[in-house]
Amino acid sequence: MTTWQVTVERRISAPAARVWEALTDIEGSPRVISGIERVEMLSDGPFGKGTRWRETRSIFGKEATEEMWVTASEPERRYVVESDSRGVHYTSEFALTPEGDDVTVVRLSFASETDKKSLTGTMGKFLGSIGSKAVAKSLAKDLEDVSVAAEAPA
């Protein structure tokens, strides 16, 4: 297996409850996160373990749609999202750490795992550092967008 991971952090001037709301409003995420074009919900009910959706993003000028699902959820503390696409398994973990009443640090860890014998795995290993930088930049932008939404006056 070929695995690589990228982690980004953002200090947000908002309480954890507000940050959690901005992060977990999946249906509203196209209004919050500029990189998301649209979302199609595949499950009903409140956000939590088992929530599923299709998310479409514009990546390098092309649309890419991935099906995602929540595999762990601890409200206002952390959640994990997974996805499988083209022979790659993706895992994203969002961890929220309050610093006092009005500041929350969000740590987003993104990992991908491929079979190194596949073409995707071989290319991933070859392009790992380039891909990691692009992914880190994209994740940091997502957290910047979440920060703007969470810090906005109610």
Amino acid at 89: H
Q: What per-residue confidence (pLDDT) applies to 127?
A: 47
Q: pLDDT tier at 32 (50, 70, 90 boundaries)?
A: very high
Q: pLDDT tens across 115-129, in order?
A: 655 544 444 554 455
Q: What per-residue confidence (pLDDT) applies to 61?
A: 81
How far apart are the C-alpha atoms of 154 and 152, rounded to whole Å? 6
Q: What per-residue confidence (pLDDT) applies to 122?
A: 44
Domain count, the chain: 1
Range of the domain at 82: 2-151
> What is the CATH number for 31?
3.30.530.20
Q: What per-residue confidence (pLDDT) applies to 33?
A: 97
Question: Between residues 128 and 22, which one has the greater pLDDT?
Answer: 22
Is-contact 148 20, C-beta < 8 A? Answer: no
φ/ψ bin of 134: left (φ > 0), alpha (ψ from -120 to 50), beta (otherwise): alpha
**DSSP letter at 34?**
T
Q: pLDDT tens across 62-113, in order?
A: 899 999 999 999 999 999 999 998 888 999 999 999 999 999 999 999 998 8
